[in-house]
Amino acid sequence: MKTGESKRSDPNKTLYIYTRVSTTVQADEGMSLDIQAEIGKERAKKLGFTPKVLNEGGVSSNHEGIDKRKVLSEVYSKILSGDIKHLFVYDQSRLSRNDDVSSAFRIACNRNGVTLYTKDGQYDLSNSSDQFMKKIMDAVAELDNAQRAERTRLGKLARARGGSWHGGPPPFGYSIVDKKLAVNKSESVWVKRIFSDTIKGKSTLEIKKLLDSKGVLTRRRVGTWTLGSIQSLIKNTHYKGYYTYTDKKSEESVTVLCPAIVDETTWTSVQKLKTRLTSRVSQQNRTKNFYLLRDLMVCGHCGLAMSARSKISKNENHYYCPHKERKWVVEGGSKTPWERGHGCGMERSLNIPETDQLVWDTVLDIHRKSSVLKEEVKWKILEEHGVPAKHSEAELKVLERQLKQLEKQLKLTKEGQAELVVNHSTGQIKPDVYELALKRSAEYLHDLEVKIANLQLQLKGGDDNRKWFDWLKVFGQRLDEKNDLTNEEKKQYLTGLIKSITVKYDRAKNQHDLQIKFQLPIVGDGIVWIDPKKKGLGYTLKRGKRSKMVVFKKKAGRGVKLITPLRNQSVTVE
Q: Where are the domains of the chain?
A: 14-154, 174-285, 293-370+479-574, 378-475
Q: Any alpha helices (H) in 48-83, and if so which ranges?
A: 70-81
Q: Each residue of 264-298: pLDDT tens digit?
A: 878 887 887 777 666 555 444 455 688 899 889 99
State yes or no: pLDDT of 439 exceeds 50. Answer: yes
Higher-confidence residue: 530 or 239?
239
Phi, psi of 25 (to 5 degrees): -65, -45
3-state secondary structure of 541: strand
pLDDT of res. 414: 77
Least trusted range by pLDDT, from 26-30, 343-347, 429-433, 549-553: 26-30
| CATH class, 174-285 region | alpha beta
Torsion of CA 275, 290, 234, 500, to 10 degrees: -30
Q: How many CB atoms lie within 10 A of CB 106?
A: 19
Window from 149-163, 342-356, 403-417 with minimum mean pLDDT: 403-417
pLDDT at 443 over 50: yes
Considering only the C-alpha atoms of the chain, give the largest distance between any 2 of them, rounded to a whole number of Å: 104
- Residue whose C-alpha is closest to residue 170's, from 242, 219, 215: 219
Q: Is 176 helix (H, G, I), strand (E, B) or coil?
A: strand
Do 14-154 and 174-285 show the same overall fold? no
pLDDT at residue 361, rounded to an integer: 92
Average pLDDT over residues 506-521: 90
pLDDT of residue 315: 81
The better pLDDT of the pair 232, 371 is held by 232
Whether the per-residue pLDDT at 400 is higher than 50: the answer is yes
Q: Tell which CATH classification among 3.30.465.10, 3.40.50.1390, 3.30.460.10, 2.30.40.10 matches the domain 14-154.
A: 3.40.50.1390
Span 211-228, average pLDDT: 76
Asked if the model's pLDDT at residue 192 lies above 70, the reply is yes
User: What is the pTM for the complete model shown?
Assistant: 0.40
